[in-house]
Amino acid sequence: MDPELKRILDETHALAKDNHRMLRAIRRDQLVGFVGKIVLWILVIVLPLYVYQQYLGPLVEKFTTLYGVGATTQNGVGLPTTAELQKLIDSYKVKQ
């Protein structure tokens, strides 16, 4: 084989190997970024729910039972009824 042709072939082979290495690194970085985004969004969605359930939920429950306003309502929307609001106002007036 001609020495010049052999040199060009070896140079092309080295460039192809380097290109393959870079493409694998790019694909690996894409995969790591994708998994990182999934983990981030899971934290963004799950962490507030966990914090509410562990810390704020019992606190809200404590205050609703303290003032006599139940968490369940008759209208099904989660808003207190007029009777529950009046009971809360009366209990506030008595404590002053």
pLDDT tens figures, 4-56: 999 999 999 999 999 999 999 999 999 999 999 999 999 999 999 898 888 88
CB 23, CB 30: distance < 8 Å: no
Give the distance from CA 9 to its chain's centroid.
Answer: 51
Q: Is the pTM of this model over 0.75?
A: no
Half-sphere exposure of 90 toward its Cβ, with a 13 Å CA cutoff? 8
Measured distance CA(25)–CA(36) in Å, rounded? 16
Residue 74 has pLDDT above 70, yes or no: no
